Amino acid sequence: MQGLPTLAAMAAHPAQVPRLDITETDDGLVVFQPETRRVHHLNVTAALIFELCTGANSDEQIVALVQQAFGLDEAPTAEVATVMASLRAEQLIA
């Protein structure tokens, strides 16, 4: 598919940006950015990917961990890349 982000375009070891107010909910996370006063609602999948962005996990490790967590037969490479591109665009990870 053309236009989708790829793992090659992502940071090698993505990490959450500092100074975020993170609240767990029944269906994911609510992330508040105090500096911009923006609120983000992450579903369960996006929340898992966001939580795996610790600076210690590589892109490939995050894909493998998401695959394992959801019991997927195939690696969700494109899907994880899309979520990470969105998190990056919203300045939640770097």
User: Is the predicted pLDDT of residue 79 greater than 50, yes or no?
Assistant: yes
For residue 43, give the nearest of 63, 24, 59, 70 by alpha carbon: 24
The pTM of the full predicted model, rounded to 2 decimals, is 0.88
Phi, psi (5° rounding) for residue 41?
-105, 115
Q: What is the pLDDT of residue 1?
A: 44
The DSSP bridge pattern shows strands 28-33 and 38-42 to be antiparallel
56 secondary structure, DSSP code:
S
Per-domain boundaries in the chain = 15-89
